[in-house]
Structure 1
């Protein structure tokens, strides 16, 4: 890996994202107000978190108010991640949040329809990130404690296999004479479970954001390649479900085989979104 500076991203229960409405104020006053406002919205002591915020342009919290995106991350979680980076001999220059890196990757690779509601779903090993956009405007974020490990655990339990064997079968490849057909019902069951968990998040979004709808889903993450997951989600939600190609508009250096890029594409969405960041920018 060239260069010593890296960007990393956090997710899960140690990260809180809230859109808040506060009386309109200047940038200087806002910096003083945010810590006091944050105490009302985050379940941690303000002294135990790092706070970041961004005024949402074009959004209005009502007459005389302004909408602000507030992000709080536990300091110990940040320290855990940056310590690992330091031990690897790298400099953690920037810390982001998975759902924002996911959105950045999508926006740098696709044209957004300002009128369309799009759900971005990144299925990781243990956490699924959900970001819902209206055009390029973020309107909802949530992390779900479900992911690819659920497939591995179910396959291992049902067939008494190792983690590596379960991982191979999960990808739709035969292993040690065990045909893929043996895991088809197991995978279908987990597809349904993951769909149900995503459904709970989508239902919450619709209940708390009246008038907004989802017209398309775009999925990423290593587990987005699980057989028949896209079809299962499309049937459940009644909308098109597409894979996110993080290299759709990214120029890749010569010498990398197309099949290698295709294999990597589902797993590097967050990394590509992070690579688009610069210190001091707002996205």
Structure 2
């Protein structure tokens, strides 16, 4: 599931709340994020992110209702996943589901080159590149699901 929401949405709300520029709010958000201590905009950030939590919960509930299986993991991706402690925020909301920051390099064999730090920013590009090297990209797709799930899909 993909929920379209960008850090700019968060930064704009924080800027409005604090009466500062968006650039300043982005800097503050990258420093403090969801850290509890001395955070003047935490409530605003949690409220905005709460909208995403609501959408995610609806999707999780739908999946469980339709397929009778539970979601085991939520993987956060994109630039906003680098906001400090965002994974902890989501983990508190989804206590029974493991929440982690995605690592698009996790299952790719490589020799040096790209650093893992910040690799989540390139998730889409890496996915497209992997699709591009497939012999039949439409049929094969790229499926990073666990093997036991992939075998059920065949």
Q: TM-score, normalised by structure 1?
A: 0.41
Aligned counterparts of 2:69 and 2:91: Cα–Cα separation in 1: 19
TM-fit CA distance, 1:173: 5.5
Which of 28, 51, 63 lines up with 1:169 in the alignment?
28
Name the CA shift for 1:225/1:192 in 2 (closer, same or farther; >3 Å): same
Where 2:76 maps in the other structure, the secondary structure is strand
Name the CA shift for 1:242/1:201 in 2 (closer, same or farther; >3 Å): same
Which of 1, 18, 21 lines up with 1:159 in the alignment?
18
Aligned counterparts of 2:53 and 2:127: Cα–Cα separation in 1: 25
CA contact (8 A) 2:105 2:119 kept: yes
Deviations 1:220-275 (A, max 9, x none): 11111223321222222222111111222432544x6x4xx40x212111111111
Aligned counterparts of 2:131 and 2:87: Cα–Cα separation in 1: 29
Aligned counterparts of 1:237 and 1:192: Cα–Cα separation in 2: 12
The ranges of structure 1 where at least 4 consecutive aligned residues each deviate by more than 6 angstroms after the TM superposition are: none
Aligned counterparts of 2:106 and 2:45: Cα–Cα separation in 1: 29
RMSD: 2.6
Matched, 1:204 2:62: yes
Aligned counterparts of 1:149 and 1:221: Cα–Cα separation in 2: 12
CA contact (8 A) 1:195 1:232 kept: no
Matched, 1:243 2:101: yes
Name the CA shift for 1:204/1:149 in 2 (closer, same or farther; >3 Å): farther
Number of the residue aligned with 2:72: 215
TM-fit CA distance, 1:160: 1.9
Point out the structure with the larger strand share. 1
Aligned counterparts of 2:39 and 2:111: Cα–Cα separation in 1: 36
Q: TM-score, normalised by structure 2?
A: 0.70
Number of the residue aligned with 2:150: none
Aligned counterparts of 1:197 and 1:173: Cα–Cα separation in 2: 25
Number of the residue aligned with 1:193: 51
- Number of residue-to-residue matches in the alignment: 132
Larger radius of gyration: 1
